[in-house]
Amino acid sequence: MRIRHLHLLATVFSVVFSCCVFAQQTGQPSSAQQSLERWRESKFATLKDDFGELARYRDADANLKPPAAGENRVVFFGDSITDLWKLEEYFPGKPYINRGISGQTTPQMLVRFRQDAIDPRPKVIVILAGTNDIAGNTGPMRLEDIEANYASMAELARAHDIHVVFSSILPVHNYTPRSQDLFAQRSPEKILKLNRWLKAYCAAHGHVYLDYFTAMVDDKGLLKRDLAEDGLHPNVTGYKLMVPRAQATIEKALAQSAKP
């Protein structure tokens, strides 16, 4: 009886110990992890049937007229920061086309790059991407894989004689309650690494680097508090700061395209 009792105690101890170890290893999901999981669940039906979300701009692309003679058409291509940017208000009279889709990562953008960026026949494509890759919107992403997707988009554009402007990833902040989860999902260190890679890639391959980061970062290395309420998406002040920098780099890229 005593032996059986000791055996039972040993078994209970083993189970309790295993459960404690498992709990320590897994832990409870953070608020940022839960927020990301809820977002991914909300997108499941869409991404299951149309991973690249080609349907979003399919009709607009099909109805888009060819560029007029002398038209300097530009496609702004990216995620929510582009999607929310009202180009007609910030660049009045410019033939700029918005092809941003909120929440997208570079593998999704690569799927729709031909339809939404090449087929509109722009002279320049302004790419702003990567923050959602770091967050893991479509799953964990290595920096090397993000960089490979950047390079693939650039190579496709060059094959069609379209000049590329690569925008730096914007910094993020955690200064407001709304910003906490978005900040926790986006490593400032990874943002810095990707921006360094983008700048070097542009220099090595003749593309134009659009440096939003330097103008928008504060002395703590975070996004300036007055530029975004949620720590990620620019407000009116943020977009106004971005406009002249975008325009200057577009003109630089257009000057390159004018060279024989």
Question: 164-175: per-residue pLDDT in tens?
Answer: 999 999 999 999
Identify which of 134, 128, 235 has the alpha carbon closest to the alpha carbon of residue 176. 235
pTM as predicted: 0.86
Q: Are 166 and 198 in contact (CB under 8 A)?
A: yes
Say if residue 98's pLDDT is above 70.
Answer: yes
Name the least confident of 10-14, 104-108, 114-118, 205-209. Answer: 10-14
Classified as helix, coil or strand, 73 is: coil
Identify the pLDDT of residue 141.
95
In the structure, what pLDDT confidence band is assigned to residue 260 with cuts at 50, 70 and 90? low
Q: What's the rounded Cα separation, in Å, for the pair 237 and 226?
A: 7
Question: Looking at residue 41, what is its pLDDT?
Answer: 86
Say what the pLDDT of residue 4 is: 41
For residues 19 and 9, what is the distance between their CA atoms, to the nearest angstrom?
15
Residue percentage of the chain with pLDDT more than 70:
88
What tens digit of pLDDT does each residue of 54-83 get?
Answer: 999 999 999 999 999 999 999 999 999 999
The type of residue at 243 is V
Who contacts 149 (Cβ-Cβ below 8 Å, separation ≥6)?
106, 107, 109, 110, 129, 133
Backbone conformation region of residue 88, classed left if phi is above 0, alpha if psi is from -120 to 50, else beta: alpha
Question: For position 46, what pLDDT does the model report?
Answer: 82
CA distances from 145 to 79, 83, 105, 186 (A): 17, 23, 11, 16
Q: How much is the pLDDT for 233?
A: 98
> Taking 70 as the threshold, does the pLDDT of residue 16 lie above it?
no
The chain-wide mean pLDDT, for the chain, equals 90
What's CA 257's distance to the chain center, in Å?
26
Q: Mean pLDDT across the stretch 99-126?
A: 98
In which band, very low, low, confident or very high, does the pLDDT at 39 lie, cut at 50, 70 and 90? confident
Residues 185, 208, 58: CA angle, nearest 5 degrees: 65
pLDDT at 25: 43
**pLDDT for res 11:** 36
Confidence of residue 21 (pLDDT cuts 50, 70, 90): very low
